[in-house]
Chains A and B, each alone.
Chain A
Amino acid sequence: MTDTTTTETTGTKPLLEIRDLSIDFQTRGGPVHAVIGANLTIYPGQSVAIVGESGSGKSTTAHAIIDLLPGTGQVTSGSIIFDGVDITKASKREIVNLRGKSIGLVPQDPMSNLNPVWSIGYQVEEGLRANGIDVSRGTQRVLTRGLAETEPAAFVGEDLLLSGDAKRTLLGLLREELSSRPEHDRELILARADDTLVTGSTTRGEAVTILEGLGMPSATGAVEKLTSVAKTKDRVAGLLAEAGLPDAERRAKQYPHEFSGGMRQRALIAIGLAARPKLLIADEPTSALDVTVQRKILDHLGDLTQELGTAVLFITHDLGLAAERAEHLVVMYRGRVVESGPSREILANPQHAYTKRLVAAAPSLASRRIQSAKAAGVEVKELLAQTGGDGVAEARDDVLVAENLTKVFTIRGSGRGHNAFKAVDDVSFSLKRGTTVALVGESGSGKSTVANMVLNLLEPTEGRIIFDGVDMTSLGKKELFSFRRRVQPIFQNPYGSLDPMYSIFRTIEEPLRVHKVGSPKERETRVRELLDLVALPQSAMRRFPNELSGGQRQRVAIARALALQPEVVVCDEAVSALDVLVQAQILELLNDLQSELGLSYLFITHDLAVVRQIADEVCVMSKGKIIERATTDEVFDSPKEEYTRELLGAIPGASLQLGTEDLAV
């Protein structure tokens, strides 16, 4: 399929043009066609997103653009024309020249993409030096010229860049100048100045303009008196500050392990943009981060690239995110581009069957749909019926009650003594029989610790858990064993939670065997039933986990959890690792099983979009505490806490205007 639309940029020459691109991977079983005849066009300054599930070829296409195909991957046909050069035919040297300088990359996983043994600043600086941007040397040149002409004006010169010291001096002077203003105003103006004066990037001439604009008439004189000149390290700090890293000058000296995931991603953005490339490839840049951090970083990336006029190619599996961040969408499915066009158009009117399913299933869009439907007066219950949720909780007894749960961990302090860390702080909630309670929060909010205490894998420091009227802390070994039958977990990673050496049959049968349920014959019948229940073929019994897809594995994990007919299932991020379509299927399955078997779910997740599809009641956790607890509708319609609003706002696609006419999918 070719581009149906070239939007408003018609007339200008495309920056990147991919034509009929095919990529194969050589394997023992013959070549695997990862990309088949893909077409893609990006104009200068445009933002384009490739959307697809894992294995659709979206990352492979992106990596081909900078000639970084992993392993045996090879372009078999087609062309990638970037700025007039065909990358598939370019020499090694030409490609090294393009990388970083013309095409930047922001990789997927911030935890593994920085070298742990070099400081952050060094890794940014490398990107500058490799592409011939040496601020120190440039500064020297300007200085020599200034001295040779013995013109002091040269020191205020247009091309002399601001150093860290100079910036501090100027900010100090500005503070003095503003001393008569009220404190609140002053701090605001200073923050503005701090943001706009970028060390190693803003020239002294620009600094004068900026400072005068902020109400500092003496700026020219102050700048003229500055003696320190920008070095490469100022530029590095400036780049990191631009990417939204606070206290960049000091932070640049630190190592990756001292950074959080969000901060590392900012450093990677600084690296990707260091040499001011014309095209930035952002490969799932935030999928490893919490939603609120994700939003901040994407906002920042969007502003920055727009300011610099950089074209951006997003690679993502999240349709909501793609539609919100890119003007143009390219949908890939099994190696082929199945649809492309302006984002809004594709969202409102998907043509291809796969895109239709994608639009229907995207959880971020689903919750938007409910909200816009509500505004239009459509009953939410009807909508939720699509995914099988029963929506309203009737008055039922509490199967599980957590009272004042507190968990304190002692962590090894830096040097002397131990520090106590309160992971969970006075958490109380109750789970009604046959309903779902969702615990929502970012990583580090203590939600998984609560799950582990409910599963009795961790002992609470204080408080108690009452299961079906019995205090669990009073249980003996035997009673605990039978308790485990009634509360079962489903964990996040379907790859890690199944023993690779166990056949599917053995995996599902194991809990039955451990609890001595039935004869071998009866157990086999039960396993068959369970496979039917989770919609897996009975033939799957003889297979091993590595022969199944992620979604199938999660079905196996569900079957195993249900083997002992539990009353409560604790789902710890049970669908977070899955592609959207599979995610929707698994949520539907969980919903069906709930109404069929009367299960109660404790659903632990960081994804509010998923919550809307499954939960009756929501507890929002932050820093170990439950800060808001209400029914799902209440939380979504009238969140009381600022933090909850922030979480809701961070759902990708929140800014999209979806009409109610596309509700019937």
Chain B
Amino acid sequence: MVRYLGRRVLQLIPVFVGATLLIYAMVFAMPGDPIAAMGGDRGLSPAVAEQIRAQYNLDKPFFVQYLLFLKGIFTLDFGVSFSGQPIMEVVAAAYPVTLKLALMALVIETVFGVFFGLIAGLRKGKFFDASLLFVSLIVIAAPTFVIGFLMQFLVGVKWQLLPATVGTDHSVKALLMPAIVLGAVSFAYVLRLTRTSVAENLSADHVRTATAKGLPRSRVVSVHVLRNSLIPVVTYLGADLGALMGGAIVTESIFNIKGVGGTLYGAIIRGEPATVVSFVTILVIVYLIGNLIVDLLYAVLDPRIRYV
């Protein structure tokens, strides 16, 4: 088990280097000169432009820049943005709320998706199953902003059950509605995945053996069906965490949340390479950690994987 964990962690290193190098290269290759843009219509004097270039290390070769950037990551120093604000500050303002939102969405989709998926799987072909499938299809088909605005109007404005926008209040209550909207599509996928997996496992030979042992049905389902069925669901959830964080931009703009999505979008529009690279790098790290957790859960759920 320890060896398995060690190997997984070691595997993160090449992925991390590869991903950041790729991001850095792509931002480097973006057309236009951000320094020239800073000067506006009048333009900068060559001496000042040169000085700014040196300040941001833009005068050095690509690989030197990349290595300086890597060094910055490990010392938690991402440099300053063009507006003079340290990028670390921008990150500290945007990441916590998005991370909280994404985790809430993840919890909601997991709990409800697995629960309803299990029931649907156990009653495959019955009315309950069919109606859940129908609902999940609608959720998957409807764009996020439709569900978002609809809920905002109904729950937030008309019935006034929850705050309609978030603003600076990052409490669980304020973030509940955005989290539901953000997790809705994934909920539908988790539900369908669980349902199929449960229905398949129900007819497995070892489940019949468990029943023949004299176990009550509740125990057969919880011990022998559910655990085996969760393996594909866990795989999906790991990949989904990254998607939730990156994809929160629509939800964040509907509910007026100053999170990763909005900040990153602004930085791309303004052409601030340092901010863009820093944000995306942190997204990569979150994604890698998410996948590491999935790998560990995997090993917990399925003993066959521990020895591979």
Contact with B along A556-569 (1 / 0, CB 8 A): 00000000000000
CA distance A127 to B307 in the complex (A): 27
A284 to chain B, nearest CB (A): 12
Cβ of A365 within 8 Å of any chain B Cβ, yes or no, is no
Q: Which residues of A contact B211 (CB under 8 A)?
A: 68, 99
Contact between chains at B303 and A107 (CB < 8 Å) = no
CA distance A123 to B213 in the complex (A): 9
Cβ of A328 within 8 Å of any chain B Cβ, yes or no, is no
Contact between chains at A99 and B213 (CB < 8 Å) = yes
CA distance A115 to B228 in the complex (A): 8
Contact between chains at B206 and A271 (CB < 8 Å) = no
Q: Which of B213, B223, B224 has the most chain A CB atoms inside 10 A of its CB?
A: B213
CA distance A414 to B211 in the complex (A): 36
Q: Which residues of A contact B216 (CB under 8 A)?
A: 96, 130
The residue on B at minimum CB distance from A111 is B205
Q: Which residues of A contact B301 (CB under 8 A)?
A: 117
Cβ of A268 within 8 Å of any chain B Cβ, yes or no, is yes
Q: Which residues of B contact A113 (CB under 8 A)?
A: 205-206, 208-209
The residue on B at minimum CB distance from A114 is B206
Residue from the list B213, B215, B217, B227 in contact with A117, Cβ < 8 A? B227
Q: Which residues of A contact B210 (CB under 8 A)?
A: 115, 123, 126
Q: Which residues of B contact A126 (CB under 8 A)?
A: 210, 213, 215, 219, 223
The B interface, classified by DSSP as helix, strand, loop or mixed, is helix
Contact between chains at A109 and B304 (CB < 8 Å) = no
CA distance A257 to B212 in the complex (A): 21
Within 8 A of B (CB), among A92-146: 96-101, 104-105, 107, 109, 112-119, 123, 126-127, 130-131
Contact between chains at B3 and A415 (CB < 8 Å) = yes
CA distance A274 to B212 in the complex (A): 12
CA distance A66 to B209 in the complex (A): 11
CA distance A127 to B212 in the complex (A): 9
Contact between chains at B303 and A268 (CB < 8 Å) = no
CA distance A447 to B81 in the complex (A): 70
Contact between chains at B215 and A105 (CB < 8 Å) = no
B219 to chain A, nearest CB (A): 7
Within 8 A of A (CB), among B47-66: none
CA distance A127 to B219 in the complex (A): 12
Cβ of B89 within 8 Å of any chain A Cβ, yes or no, is no
Contact between chains at A255 and B205 (CB < 8 Å) = no
The residue on A at minimum CB distance from B207 is A115
Contact between chains at B208 and A68 (CB < 8 Å) = yes
B160 to chain A, nearest CB (A): 47
Contact between chains at A130 and B219 (CB < 8 Å) = yes
CA distance A68 to B211 in the complex (A): 8
Residue from the list B204, B212, B227, B302 in contact with A112, Cβ < 8 A? B204
Cβ of A29 within 8 Å of any chain B Cβ, yes or no, is no
Residue from the list A105, A118, A414 in contact with B212, Cβ < 8 A? A105
Cβ of B203 within 8 Å of any chain A Cβ, yes or no, is yes
A68-B208, A271-B213 known; A116 vs B304 contact (CB < 8 Å): yes
Interface size on A, residues (CB 8 A): 35
Contact between chains at A70 and B205 (CB < 8 Å) = no
CA distance A12 to B188 in the complex (A): 60
Q: Which residues of A contact B204 (CB under 8 A)?
A: 112
Cβ of B40 within 8 Å of any chain A Cβ, yes or no, is no
CA distance A471 to B215 in the complex (A): 62
A117-B302, A117-B303, A415-B3 known; A112 vs B205 contact (CB < 8 Å): yes
B29 to chain A, nearest CB (A): 40
Cβ of A611 within 8 Å of any chain B Cβ, yes or no, is no
Contact with A along B223-239 (1 / 0, CB 8 A): 11001100000000000
The residue on B at minimum CB distance from A268 is B209
Q: Which residues of A contact B203 (CB under 8 A)?
A: 70
Cβ of B143 within 8 Å of any chain A Cβ, yes or no, is no
Contact between chains at B227 and A107 (CB < 8 Å) = no
A252 to chain B, nearest CB (A): 14
CA distance A404 to B125 in the complex (A): 59
Cβ of B31 within 8 Å of any chain A Cβ, yes or no, is no
A282 to chain B, nearest CB (A): 12
CA distance A101 to B212 in the complex (A): 10
Contact between chains at A68 and B212 (CB < 8 Å) = yes
Contact between chains at B214 and A271 (CB < 8 Å) = no
Q: Which residues of B contact A208 (CB under 8 A)?
A: none
Contact between chains at B206 and A112 (CB < 8 Å) = yes
CA distance A271 to B215 in the complex (A): 12
CA distance A578 to B268 in the complex (A): 67
CA distance A409 to B245 in the complex (A): 46
Contact between chains at B214 and A130 (CB < 8 Å) = yes
Cβ of A275 within 8 Å of any chain B Cβ, yes or no, is yes
Contact between chains at A104 and B212 (CB < 8 Å) = yes
Q: Which of A70, A104, A116, A117 has the most chain B CB atoms inside 10 A of its CB?
A: A117
10 nearest A-B pairs in the assembled complex, by CB-CB distance: A100-B214, A105-B212, A99-B214, A112-B205, A127-B213, A115-B206, A255-B303, A100-B213, A130-B214, A113-B205
List 30 A-B residue pairs with CB atoms under 8 Å apart, sorted by A's residue number: A66-B212, A68-B211, A68-B212, A70-B203, A96-B216, A96-B217, A97-B214, A99-B212, A99-B213, A100-B213, A100-B215, A105-B209, A105-B212, A109-B205, A113-B206, A113-B208, A114-B209, A116-B302, A116-B303, A116-B304, A117-B228, A117-B302, A126-B210, A126-B215, A127-B213, A130-B216, A131-B213, A131-B214, A257-B304, A268-B209
Mark B residues whose CB is within 8 Å of A: 3, 203-217, 219, 223-224, 227-228, 301-304, 307
Mark A residues whose CB is within 8 Å of B: 66, 68, 70, 96-101, 104-105, 107, 109, 112-119, 123, 126-127, 130-131, 255, 257, 268, 271-272, 274-275, 414-415
Known contacts A113-B205, A113-B206; can you find 18 more A-B pairs with CB under 8 A? A68-B211, A68-B212, A96-B214, A96-B216, A97-B214, A107-B212, A109-B205, A112-B204, A112-B205, A113-B208, A114-B206, A114-B209, A115-B210, A116-B206, A116-B304, A117-B228, A130-B214, A415-B3
